[in-house]
Structure 1
Amino acid sequence: MHSQNQSLLAALYACVNSCEHCATACLNEEDVKMMARCIQLDRDCADICALTARFVARGSEHAQHLLKECAETCKACGDECEKHGAHMEHCRECAEACRRCEQACRQGITA
């Protein structure tokens, strides 16, 4: 496998893990309703990253479309998690993983 794909896949899977952890941690927060948007985006981001990783791994011609959507979803999730990152470690870590994944996806998109 191409080394660029390996680093892209690593970023995608790291983002899946961070988003799943963040969503679970958010569900355990005192004010879960306040975290609803974060949880929704965590779940969306984890799902699109996992799907994108599978398409990239198999060398699908459709991976390019997913990389664009994945980058956008990672940006949205990272933006939301940053709002809570100052007082919630899981959100701060998730925002960082989302930023790395967004960048990796954008680098993986061919013109």
Structure 2
Amino acid sequence: MSQKIASNIEELERYEMEEKVLLAKKTQLESMIFATRSENEKFNNLLKQLVNCALDLDIKSNGEPATATTPARGDDKASNGGEAASDLKNGENRVEKAEGSDENMGFDL
């Protein structure tokens, strides 16, 4: 009988140790989730700033705000996912030209 009690005590101690390990892992995962959410929030804020800057650049160069339904920079192309890379490339070219000269681009250089 005492052997059975000793065996049960050992098993209980093993379970308690496993519980401590699992609680430590849970705490670690919770802190990782919190850090990930914090980084995600920072990323989203930076992304919003980037979009606002891109819209500001478009307004300064074109004089009209770009919207999701109208093409950016006065292009005749539809603004959809297939044209997004082309629009970005055009925007990069425009910025490079603006940095190279101040030919009436609407930028204060």
Same fold (TM over 0.5): no
Q: TM-score, normalised by structure 2?
A: 0.34
TM-score (norm 1): 0.34
Bigger radius of gyration: 2
Pick the structure with more helix per residue: 1
